[in-house]
């Protein structure tokens, strides 16, 4: 039984989902915690309500719907393409507002026309909010993690640094801290003298043998979550990363990219000019970006509503490409947010790669905006 009342516009929402041929799906309130802890991101992990099963398995109250909907799709062995809609409670520790609130949304699974599916997600979010907030001007902010990844890769940084920067995408405080570390490297300290010597000599076999010997002597090997080989690999990687320095020219390129903030109608030209000036080859990523802009225009979405911010991301680790949020005029509250998550289905156990995009609507915030109208 719900502890809070459904918003009075729920019927309109369900009509909108039906008109968009998105099948209504329910998922259990109690969910396995592991997927959220592994891939949802730090922002969500620290706000999850944890519990346990009778056998000691880690469970949680449903903190969002994307992962449960994807798990349900995999379990049902349903083919794609498939569109799902949902409306139900989620549970998160929040500073403001209730820890239990309603979310609704659409998950679009398996459409291989990436540009068209991205455009449909944005168009659906804007269209639904336009019905729920009639006459209220809306604005959309979009980012593209794939373009950021292409820039980082084109700069030729070690793979470990690429992963760190990509993981921080959308969190400017964390990203700026990482960039500062790249400009002024902080060398690894506190290593056992013998380990430091073996790492420096690049004698991997001797390093693994020494770590194994130490683990056996201390009894740590019995409960260790990592093998000596993995510990050695991570130590070497840490040393390489600590000694990597981003030169001033590359740092300025990243700073210039992250400062891009333009209307979407000008974004393709701005990105192309940036890539040419920096001497970076971003061909595929820019082609996909241009394809999405064209698809949005073809879908009848008003491009004047949309701003592109190169540094914009959302605090969920499973996004892989498009990310976006929708707000109403004169209000900072995010009413809808979503993006593309092409790697999530495989991570959750799908046998084949399934492209996916979707968005969530924050019903408590929409209700507040309706009351203020």
Q: HSE (CB half, 13 Å, CA atoms) of 312?
A: 21
Residue 274 and residue 208 in one domain? no
Residue 141 and residue 206 in one domain? no
State the total domains in the chain.
2
Position 204 in a domain: yes
Position 5 in a domain: no
Q: Is residue 115 predicted with pLDDT exceeding 90?
A: yes
Buried b / exposed e along 273-285 (16+ C-beta atoms within 10 A):
ebbeebebebeeb
Please give the pLDDT value at position 229: 78
What is the rounded average pLDDT of the residues 68-93?
94
How far apart are the C-alpha atoms of 17 and 131, rounded to whole Å?
12
How far apart are the C-alpha atoms of 76 and 64, rounded to whole Å?
20
Residue 136 and residue 50 in one domain? yes
Q: Is residue 105 predicted with pLDDT exceeding 50?
A: yes
Return the CATH number at 123.
3.30.930.10
Residue 352 in tokens: 């084949």
Q: What confidence tens digit (pLDDT) does each residue in 173-195 have?
A: 888 888 887 776 555 445 566 76
**Which 3-state string (H, E, C) describes 155-218?**
CCCCHHHHHHHHHCCCCHHHHHHHHHHHHCCCCCCCCCHHHHHHHHHCCHHHHHHHHHHHHHHH
Q: What confidence tens digit (pLDDT) does each residue in 242-272 have?
A: 556 677 888 899 999 999 999 999 999 999 9
Which of the listed residues 243, 278, 302 is the one where a domain comes to its end? 243
Buried b / exposed e along 189-216 (16+ C-beta atoms within 10 A):
eeeeeebeebbeeeeeeebbebbbebbe
Residue 140 and residue 276 in one domain? yes
Q: What confidence tens digit (pLDDT) does each residue in 128-154 have?
A: 999 999 999 999 999 999 999 999 999
Residue 67 and residue 137 in one domain? yes
Comparing 79-93, 171-185, 203-217, 310-324, the range with the smallest average pLDDT is 203-217
Residue-range definition of the domain harbouring residue 276: 10-150+263-372
Position 182 in a domain: no
Position 180 in a domain: no
Residue 268 and residue 367 in one domain? yes
Please give the pLDDT value at position 181: 78
Residue 86 and residue 117 in one domain? yes
Position 188 in a domain: no
Residue 131 and residue 20 in one domain? yes
Please give the pLDDT value at position 50: 92
Please give the pLDDT value at position 223: 47
């Amino acid at each position: 039984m719900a502890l809070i009342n459904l918003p009075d516009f729920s019927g309109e929402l369900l009509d909108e989902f039906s008109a968009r041929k998105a099948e209504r799906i329910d998922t259990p309130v109690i969910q396995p915690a592991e997927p959220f802890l592994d891939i949802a991101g730090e922002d969500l992990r620290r706000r999850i309500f944890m519990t346990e099963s009778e056998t000691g398995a880690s469970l949680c109250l449903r903190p969002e719907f994307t992962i449960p909907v994807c798990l349900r799709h995999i379990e049902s062995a349903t083919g794609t393409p498939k569109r799902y809609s949902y409306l139900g409670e989620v549970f998160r520790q929040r500073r403001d507002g209730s820890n239990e609130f309603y979310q609704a949304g659409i998950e679009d699974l398996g459409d291989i026309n990436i540009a068209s599916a991205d455009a449909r997600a944005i168009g659906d979010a804007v269209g639904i909010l336009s019905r729920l907030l009639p006459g209220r001007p809306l604005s959309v902010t979009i980012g593209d993690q794939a373009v950021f990844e292409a820039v980082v890769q084109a700069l030729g940084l070690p793979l470990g640094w690429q992963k760190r920067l990509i993981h921080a995408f959308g969190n400017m405080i964390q990203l700026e801290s990482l960039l500062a570390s790249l400009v002024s490297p902080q060398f690894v300290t506190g290593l056992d003298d013998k380990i430091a010597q073996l790492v420096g000599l690049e004698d991997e076999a001797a390093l693994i043998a020494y770590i194994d010997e130490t683990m056996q002597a201390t009894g740590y090997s019995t409960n260790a979550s990592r093998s000596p080989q993995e510990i050695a690999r991570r130590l070497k990687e840490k040393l390489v990363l600590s000694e990597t320095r981003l030169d001033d020219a590359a740092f300025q390129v990243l700073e210039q990219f992250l400062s891009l903030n333009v209307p979407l109608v000008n974004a393709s030209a701005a990105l192309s000019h940036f890539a040419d000036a920096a001497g970076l080859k971003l061909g595929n990523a820019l082609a996909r970006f241009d394809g999405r802009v064209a698809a949005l225009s073809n879908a009848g979405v008003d491009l004047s509503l949309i701003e592109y911010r190169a540094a914009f991301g959302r605090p969920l680790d499973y996004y892989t490409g498009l990310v976006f949020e929708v707000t109403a005029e004169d209000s900072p509250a995010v009413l809808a947010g979503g993006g593309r998550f092409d790697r999530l289905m495989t991570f959750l156990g799908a046998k084949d790669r399934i492209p996916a995009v979707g968005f969530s609507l924050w019903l408590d915030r929409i209700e507040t905006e309706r009351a203020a109208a």
